[in-house]
């Protein structure tokens, strides 16, 4: 029997949000997507892989010990005097009992996905509740406690000797991952996001390019609100393929946040479901071209949690695992999960309603984005040459 080329790393614990059920970060999105795929016959039992426990030393290579200790103490309900300094106890990252365990488990899952790809057990591995790109070395931020992506990249580079291109299409700038690899030339970080001028976390300007040995290896494409599918894809195409082929990764790590969708309540880009699907498709094609298809894929943001996210991520899986999905979504899935979540779930894979866009605003956003993409490519191309 041939091994499946694409595996989903999953565990029932991952369905729990570290912050409890009243917080906007809904961890059930992963389970909801998995259930949809199973109901469609697009995910088979032998394509689900277990979560392995990560090596504690890896945690210490990415996060500062004082922060890890504060996180664990806070999660155990112990008093942490300098919690705010570590970004804990804020409205984004409230202190909730057991949160450290949930966050570590999500990190275990993304590192497990990375190891499946590094060992050759899978060509592509997916962890839908990962993608916690705002966690910094010594500070929680933006719903993120432990940077699972940075841990996976650290594992792939330092333990496995691989060159990693990190592509982050979440609507928010991938500040945590960028910061952690700021001075590294063996990790290219690429973030395409709504500009920090109008959105959290406020960073990701085009002149953020890395420093020291890592100069040129942080790539940012900030976008203006209301950019549509065509504008986004044109700017992406003008920068990201050149960067990836010049860098020559062994593996691509994709943070596939679904919050660039027009319905997302926390951001203002105007991508459709088809647009998001096309963006994911671009990155998968680039992996085929640059690194024999090797990819580690996580979810990320996505706060239109029950309509846009499961459809976007089901389509992402279908692309990765080369499956067809029906346009009419299974009634069994809609009923069971609709009741469980107390929401009405979509009936079709493709959305019927598209955003009502102001043509002048989308045009302005598109021409601005293309100009930024070309400037960044022109400035950084000389710095991307491989030295080996
Ligand atoms: Zn986001």
The pLDDT tens digits for 248-281 are 999 999 999 999 999 999 999 999 999 999 999 9
Contacts (Cβ under 8 Å, ≥6 apart) of 63: 135, 137, 138, 146, 147
Q: Please give the pLDDT value at position 206.
A: 98
pLDDT digit string (tens) for 325-376?
999 999 999 999 999 999 999 999 999 888 888 999 999 999 999 999 999 9
Find the 156 Cα to ligand 1 centroid distance in Å: 24
CA of residue 128 to ligand 1 center, whole Å: 14
Residues 163, 169, 175, 177: what is their CA dihedral angle, to the nearest 10 degrees? -30
Q: What is the CA radius of gyration of the chain?
A: 19
Listed as ranges, residues in the chain with pLDDT below 70 are 1-4, 385-388
> Tell me, what DSSP letter sits at residue 50?
P
- Is the pTM here over 0.85, yes or no? yes
What pLDDT is stored for residue 3 in this prediction?
62
At 215 the pLDDT is 97
Residue located via tokens 């497990």 = 112
Q: Please tell us whether the domain made up of 6-351+358-383 is placed in CATH 3.20.20.220.
A: no
Q: Ligand 1 centroid to 193 CA: how many Å?
A: 9
Query: Is residue 285 within a helix (H) or strand (E), and if so which, with residue range?
Result: helix 273-291
**Quick one: how far is CA 163 from the chain centroid?**
18
pLDDT at res. 17: 87
- Separation of CA 312 and ligand 1 centre (Å): 14
Distance 124 CA to ligand 1 centre (A): 22
Residue 163 CA to ligand 1 centre (angstroms): 25
Question: Which pLDDT value is given to residue 2?
Answer: 63
Kindly report, residue by residue over 18-45, the tens digit of the pLDDT: 888 888 889 899 999 999 999 999 999 9
The overall longest dimension of the chain from CA atoms, in Å, is 57
Is residue 105 within 8 A of residue 48, CB to CB? The reply is no
Give the chain's mean pLDDT: 95
> What ranges do the domains of the chain cover?
6-351+358-383
Query: Cβ neighbours of residue 388 under 8 Å, at least 6 residues apart?
Result: none
Q: 201 CA distance to ligand 1 centroid (A)? A: 10
pLDDT at 55: 86
Positions marked catalytic: 134
Q: Using the mean position of ligand 1's atoms as its centre, give its distance from the Cα of residue 202 in Å.
A: 12
């Amino acid at each position: 029997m041939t091994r499946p080329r694409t595996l989903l790393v999953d565990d029932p614990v991952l369905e729990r949000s570290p912050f409890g059920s009243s917080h906007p970060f809904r961890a059930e999105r992963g389970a909801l997507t998995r259930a949809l795929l199973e109901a469609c016959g697009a995910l088979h039992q032998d394509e689900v892989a277990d979560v392995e426990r990560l090596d504690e030393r890896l945690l210490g290579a990415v996060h500062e010990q004082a922060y890890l200790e504060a996180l664990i103490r806070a999660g155990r309900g112990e008093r942490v005097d300098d919690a705010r300094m570590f970004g804990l106890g804020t409205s984004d990252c409230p202190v909730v009992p057991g949160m450290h365990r949930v966050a570590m488990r999500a990190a275990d899952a993304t590192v497990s996905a990375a190891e499946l790809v590094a060992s050759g057990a899978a060509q592509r591995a997916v962890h839908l509740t990962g993608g916690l790109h705002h966690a910094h070395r010594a500070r929680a931020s933006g719903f993120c406690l432990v940077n699972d992506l940075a841990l996976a990249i650290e594992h792939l580079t330092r333990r496995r000797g691989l060159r990693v291109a990190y592509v982050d299409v979440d609507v928010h700038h991938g500040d945590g991952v960028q910061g952690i690899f700021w001075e590294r030339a063996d990790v290219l970080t690429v973030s395409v996001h709504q500009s920090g001028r109008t959105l959290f976390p406020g960073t990701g300007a085009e002149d953020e390019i890395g420093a020291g040995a890592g100069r040129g290896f942080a790539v940012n494409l900030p976008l203006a609100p209301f950019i549509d599918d065509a504008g986004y894809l044109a700017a992406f195409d003008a920068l990201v393929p050149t960067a990836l082929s010049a860098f020559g990764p062994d593996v691509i790590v994709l943070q596939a946040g679904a919050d660039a969708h027009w319905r997302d309540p926390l951001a203002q880009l105007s991508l459709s479901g088809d647009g998001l699907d096309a963006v994911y498709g671009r990155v998968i094609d680039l992996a085929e071209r640059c690194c024999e298809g090797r990819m580690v894929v996580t979810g990320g943001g996505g706060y239109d949690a029950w309509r846009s996210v499961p459809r976007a991520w089901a389509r992402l899986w279908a692309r990765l695992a080369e499956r067809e999905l029906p346009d009419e979504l299974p009634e069994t899935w809609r009923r069971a999960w609709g009741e469980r979540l107390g929401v009405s779930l979509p009936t079709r894979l493709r959305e019927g309603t598209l955003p009502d866009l102001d043509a002048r605003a989308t045009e302005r956003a598109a021409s601005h984005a293309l100009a930024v993409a070309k400037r960044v490519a022109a400035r950084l191309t000389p710095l991307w040459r491989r030295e080996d």
